[in-house]
A and B are shown apart, each in its own frame.
Chain A
Amino acid sequence: MSVPVHRGRFGAAQAERLLWRAGFGPAPGQAARLSRKGLRHAVRSLTRPRGKAKLRGPAPHDDDGLPLAPGDAWGHDLLWWLDRMVRSDQPLVERMTLVWHDWFATADVGQTTLNLKQNELFRKRGLGSFEELLLAVTVDPAMLVWLSGNENERGAPNENYGRELMELFTLGADNGYSEDDVREQARALTGWTNDWDESRGMVNFRFERDRHDYGRKSIFGKAGNFDWRDSCRLCIDHPAHARFFVTRLWSYFVPTPPPKRTLRALEKQYRRDRNIRRIVEAILMHPALYEGPRMVKPPIVQIAGMLRARRRGIDTDSWTWIADEAGQRLFQPPNVAGWDEQRWLDTARIGGRWTAAAQNTRAAEIDPDGYDPNETAAAAVRKALRFWGDPNLSSQTRGELQRFAARVENVATDDWQQASYRGLRQNALRILIAVSPEFQTS
């Protein structure tokens, strides 16, 4: 029993979808280049990058032209990561970092450097063993603060992390554990603490034997003197975990649920070694990704993708509030359950996506005076598509763009309007492409 592999066409269109689902969209020409590798090699070029990531393109700066200060300046945490999304030559590594940021959703704990360290942890371990990732996250300082692990001590257990460990991170709500298990998990997880330093804030996160409850615990019907490592491993070994894991991971890449046989095969594969990379590879080669319906791009992916298409670096602080408006302020997930992907698009959120598009078109805004008065509708559409790196759009969307371009010519009746209306038309076409329903999805 193996996981099905896409046998159909893998052309530029399919490669473009892959780059949106597994990364942040193509740079101009990248989809066609990737498609020439064939599906397997294309996927592996994403999942098995060599060496350290290289950042290509203009270095980021803020509105004042100064370098980013992600640990200090408001909003620069987002800008710093968005820059990596835009420029890294290992897009899947960044995308997996985003997956784990949502999976182990930790908002700003009031000391941004801790969140940035957690981000680095996701980047470093995001394609390795889930067991190792879970162990590392459990005692990650930002997580210890976020879910009260540093306040969980013998005699006064705090259930915050123990509950989410099962409900959100490894098993799913009400899926094979009891309230007693929550309490016992909390006891097993006791012992972590930190110091407070007047100038540096929270420091010296550590396990202290005095704070740990060394008594016997009973978790999932098993008894032992469990500690935080046992706590994690008991969850990983729980019979409900593998299905929860592969189903949730799948949902980040494919909008339809995995077929039953696929699910069983993925579970079996995962149980072998808890390896994340192999499951991701299986999902990225699955026919459902290429043959199934389109998927709404997460707001930050959409924003990064526009910048990639434009080969534009981070040159303004505005992306922080625009991302917020579009519904995905990095480092500020709405709660520990992460972002709700069902809410990526509504009339309020599309306003943020529109603003992101306009922010890009304004940076290259055409002055309607002196524009080519003879440009044809078809040439105008071609030029506007090129502005966004020639995205793969359906004939229906292209048709509407063409119709718009032609209608502008119909209303340009006076001589003076011939040039200026065509200039306005080009500005409008660029916006229309980026706000089209098709471009919100991949």
Chain B
Amino acid sequence: MSAAGHRCGCREFTRAELARRSFAEAGRGLPAIEPGMPAPAGTGMTRRSLLLRGGALALSVYGASMLKPQAFVEGIARAAGTQGKVLVSVFLEGGIDALSVLAPVNDDTYRRLRPQLRLAPGAGPAWTEDTRLQWHPSATPLHQLHGEGKVTVFPGIGYTNADQSHFTSRHYWEVGELSTRADTGWLGRLLDVVGDDENPLQGLSLDGSLAPSLATARVPVAATWGASYDLWAPGVWGEVEDLMFESFARMGVAAERSRDDGLSGAGRVVRQAGALRTQLKAFSGEIASPVAYPDSEHFSESLAGLAAMLGAGLPIRVASVGAPGSYDTHDEQAGSFGADLAQTCKGLLAFQRDLEARGLDDRVLTLVWSEFGRRPEENGDGSSAGTDHGAGGNAFLIGTAAKGRMVGEWPGLKSLDEDDNLRSTSDFRSVYCSLLEQWFGVDAAAVVPGASGFNRPVLVG
């Protein structure tokens, strides 16, 4: 949360964060895959190449603490090669301003509510499904994919009586129900139904720690950061460096055997770190992507690495990555919004093109979401104008298999909710139910509480 956010009244802290914190701890500290293990059977590749082609990521494994590392390798091997459907979750942190992504540029109310922040007619391409709305210029990559029938737009997504706390609303989206007590994510529960007991890669968080939406009750999932794992050793190189890392790992192995819990825990982490670094050093460097990504930021690297891992046949079923920037634009929205949105959309376009080049695009859908939209009436004046927390917002489902037809209509500015926010015309839980059933072939009732009460928009096909 940005400092600006604190000033503007979103500093409240709720049970949601505590709940998140507690379940993010589940099963922490399992051993990572070690060197010297046999190549996973059935993958047609050595374990090293598996890691190489998988983007060479450091793994933290969560859940299923009784399993030995060998079991994970076998689990990954067994699950590899299955051409399952994949869902990527991309989170726009902070609550993105829907009225700036798809702007009703000729709407009188919009022009009145947004004297500073309104977009000029013609500044971006019109949205073909509802020509009252116009894409932000930075969202042009989405417009492009939409024109190819590869983007399903949710122009007013949310839930009734929207909570305007970042934490609470985000938590609802993550757990797939309006409960602050829920302690597994909706994608985690999907994995608990369809996942493998021994394949942590099936649920991959790419931002360094477990994404709450992937928190499981039963099966293991993994967290990685970026696409490299390197330890910087100034003044040490060549054979001496190799020996140093060997000793580093050996100190870990020895300490792990200690009867002293504190020392043994530290030893385990040192052993894991040493093992990872040893595995990865032979192929450190850039991932060879068939397309150009916009820059070398974490978001691009994560998506490029994810595409490479899928290309290598790694058995990933759901993955999570945070979009660059912050959309909590309480003030000076004009300054940051366009740049953040451009980074995000360019990265998403490159990812889709990457998947197409690798022939994976039929297998992957990407859900882009945010915890809420923002208040239609802007605040402040002059260049400091921003928007406060709202309700109804935007989401996008991207992929060759996406239906490409909007779900729910644009709610309009004529009838706002009691807090003067946009109403929602589709419910995020409906989207989850449709994805579960139409994409994963799983009965949504097993994953989303009260699933029978939600409609099922057609999202795939």
Contact = CB atoms under 8 A, between A and B. Distances in A.
B18 A438 contact: no
Interface in A307-347: 334-337, 340, 342-343, 345-347
Given A295-B262, A347-B32, A400-B247, A109 B235 contact: no
A38 interface: no
A147 interface: yes
B292 interface: no
Interface in B94-126: none
Given A335-B18, A340-B25, A358-B232, A424 B3 contact: no
B102 to A, nearest CB: 30
Given A358-B233, A400-B250, A424-B236, A343 B28 contact: yes
17 contacts: A109-B11, A146-B13, A255-B262, A293-B260, A296-B265, A345-B265, A346-B29, A347-B269, A358-B233, A396-B254, A404-B243, A404-B247, A407-B243, A411-B239, A428-B243, A428-B244, A435-B248
Interface stretch (B186-194, B270-278, B307-315): B270-278
A181 interface: no
Interface in A124-160: 145-148, 151, 160
A351 interface: yes
Interface string B273-289: 10010000000000000
Contacts of B9: 151
Contact of B3 (A110, A361, A366): A110
A270 to B, nearest CB: 26
Contacts of B236: 424, 427-428, 431
Given A294-B262, A340-B25, A345-B269, A145 B235 contact: no
Contact of A335 (B4, B21, B29, B276): B21
Contacts of B209: 348
A347 B6 contact: no
B10 to A, nearest CB: 11
Interface in B15-36: 17-18, 21, 25, 28-29, 32
A15 interface: no
B147 to A, nearest CB: 40
A427 B263 contact: no
A164 interface: yes
B6 A351 contact: no
B260 A160 contact: no
Nearest to A435: B248
Nearest to A429: B244
A424 B237 contact: yes
A426 to B, nearest CB: 8
B418 interface: no
Nearest to B167: A335
A342 B11 contact: no
B135 to A, nearest CB: 32
Contacts of A436: 251, 255, 270
Interface centre among B4, B13, B58, B60 (most CB of A within 10 A): B13
A335 B13 contact: yes
Contacts of A230: none
Contacts of B265: 296, 345
Interface centre among A345, A347, A397 (most CB of B within 10 A): A347
Given A350-B273, A432-B251, A408 B240 contact: yes
B252 interface: yes
Interface of A: 107-111, 145-148, 151, 160, 164, 173, 201, 255, 293-296, 334-337, 340, 342-343, 345-351, 354-355, 358, 361-362, 365-366, 368, 396-397, 400-401, 403-404, 407-408, 411, 421, 423-425, 427-428, 431-432, 435-438, 440-441
Interface residues of B, number: 58
A424 B59 CA distance: 30
B11 A427 contact: no
B3 to A, nearest CB: 4
A366 B235 contact: yes
A347 B270 CA distance: 7
A58 to B, nearest CB: 22
Contacts of B262: 255, 293-296, 441
A298 B44 CA distance: 44
B251 A336 contact: no
B270 A160 contact: no
A438 B248 CA distance: 12
B414 interface: no
B3 A365 contact: no
A417 to B, nearest CB: 9
B302 to A, nearest CB: 14
B359 interface: no
A362 B252 contact: no
Given A173-B18, A350-B269, A355-B232, 9 more contacts: A145-B11, A151-B9, A293-B260, A342-B28, A347-B276, A350-B270, A432-B244, A437-B267, A438-B255
B454 interface: no
A421 B240 CA distance: 7
A160 B235 CA distance: 51
A346 B233 CA distance: 19
A146 B11 CA distance: 6
Contacts of A346: 28-29, 60, 269
A148 B255 contact: no
B130 interface: no
Contacts of A151: 9
Interface in B138-188: none
Contacts of A160: 12-13
Nearest to B13: A336
B158 to A, nearest CB: 24
A407 B240 CA distance: 9
A384 to B, nearest CB: 12
Given A148-B11, A342-B28, A408-B240, A432 B3 contact: no
Nearest to B275: A347
A404 B249 CA distance: 12
Nearest to A403: B247
A117 to B, nearest CB: 16
A216 B80 CA distance: 65
Contacts of A431: 233, 236, 244
A70 to B, nearest CB: 15
Contact of A400 (B58, B225, B254): B254
A361 B234 contact: yes
Contacts of A295: 262
Nearest to B15: A163
Nearest to B235: A427
B67 interface: no
Contacts of A348: 58, 60, 208-209, 225
A78 B447 CA distance: 43
B28 A438 contact: no
B261 interface: yes
B235 A365 contact: yes
B235 A337 contact: no
Given A109-B6, A342-B28, A437 B11 contact: no
A350 B271 CA distance: 11
Contact of B252 (A108, A342, A437): A437
Contacts of A424: 235-238, 240-241
B229 interface: yes
Q: Which 3 A-B pairs have the closest CB atoms?
A: A294-B262, A427-B235, A437-B255
A147 B244 contact: no
Given A296-B262, A348-B225, A400-B251, A110 B6 contact: yes
B266 interface: yes
